Amino acid sequence: MITAATHDGRGIAAVEGKKVFVAGALAGETVRFQRRKRRRNFDEAELLEVIEPSAERVAPRCAVFGTCGGCSLQHQSQETQRNIKFEALQNALQRIGGVTPGQWFAPLYDDGENGGWNYRRRARLAVKDVAGKGRVLVGFRERHAPYVADMQRCEILARPVDAMLTALSEIIGTLSIRARLPQIEVAVGDVQTRLVLRVLDPPTAEDRAHLAEFAKSQNVSIALQTGGLDSIEDLYPAKPDALSYRLPEFGIALQFDATDFVQVNAEINRRMVARAIELLAPGANDRVLDLFCGIGNFSLPLARNAAEVLGIEGEARQVQRAAANAARNGIKNAHFVTADLSEISGKEAWLAKPWQRVLLDPARSGALDVVKQMKRINPERIVYVSCHAATLARDAAELIQLGYALSGAGIIDMFPHTAHVESIAVFEKK
């Protein structure tokens, strides 16, 4: 009997006084499982059979759900998933940050016809030549083992890649380097699709011809990567059109490369940017700091509403892309610099300038080093977009100590069917 469940889709059973976490089981269910990992205080198990299902259980859309490690919550309705993520954010803020927001925002999610499916426009697919199966597997890795899941399609990958896994398996199976091609970077723009194949040995002329024909037939561009990012070489077409996505509310189009960081869910990103700018509410005379700015996803829309925007990012390639995107969109009041925001000396020139608004969009590690400088930066309002509730809560506690109030917070369902919790929070100077 499963007595409880975690926010990441695992049921909890007590067997001989020891907790067992069963992936894919729901509270109240009677199940059969197999232990996969034994630890001192708990074990981890694979769900084999649901004998008495919960009324909350729904049929997963994916044929390999439970085996593939890409999703963990497809057996629950999307409304239930959002409730779980809200509880995870609420608990983190209370337990770690010791704070409750003045207002809980309604969850931000895709309520369209296909909402929650075919959303992932950036992904890294594993590739493995499996002699025992006599073919190449392309997909995500299994949940309980380091193997590539045997999947024909993926319900969360953006079109057209969702239905391309079998074709990729077949074309790679024809190559002389089929055992020396470990991964594929996938990037889907509003119009273009790009695949970057990591190759450990140089492909032959015949390999290149096969891949070029595949790219042409599938209407995608293919590049080869033999080493670092500088080694990426366009295979077909020789000069592909750039990947891009639009933020139509702001009249902006952003170009990006297959190895750039972009928010994986295009529709939710559009809604998130609009929500963030609405909450930050920059005035025509306000100067705005966009920290961890990436390719300008927030910076350029902010520049449409503010006097000046400075975007700061640790990756030089991203900063170059952001500056180019600003120029491409005719935006002259947004500027970008490269700086490591996890190591601030206090002597940075931008710290000495007045900023009325700050937007934060850090990685999972959060923005603690930047947050500790907020008393000096002294913005009136801060919007914090987070992909990890625990570090948001930690940083919220620091901001409150510095004299800010958490006026509102809520979840953003950026990653449906997974346990990842994206959220947004607003802090105002008391």
Catalytic residues: 387
327 Cβ neighbours under 8 A, 6+ residues apart: none
Of 315, 428, 300, 419, which is closest to residue 362 (Cα–Cα)? 315
DSSP 134: T
Q: How far is CA 362 from CA 46, 59, 341, 366, 381, in A?
A: 33, 35, 9, 5, 17
Whole-number Å distance between alpha carbons of 327 and 329: 5
157 Cβ neighbours under 8 A, 6+ residues apart: 118, 120, 123, 186
Q: How far is CA 188 from CA 103, 158, 159, 245, 255, in A?
A: 36, 7, 8, 9, 11
DSSP assignment string, 256-275: E-TTS---SBHHHHHHHHHH
Q: Are 44 and 19 in contact (CB under 8 A)?
A: no
Residue listed under structure tokens 């007595």: 3
Q: State how beta strands 30-38 and 42-52 pair.
A: antiparallel
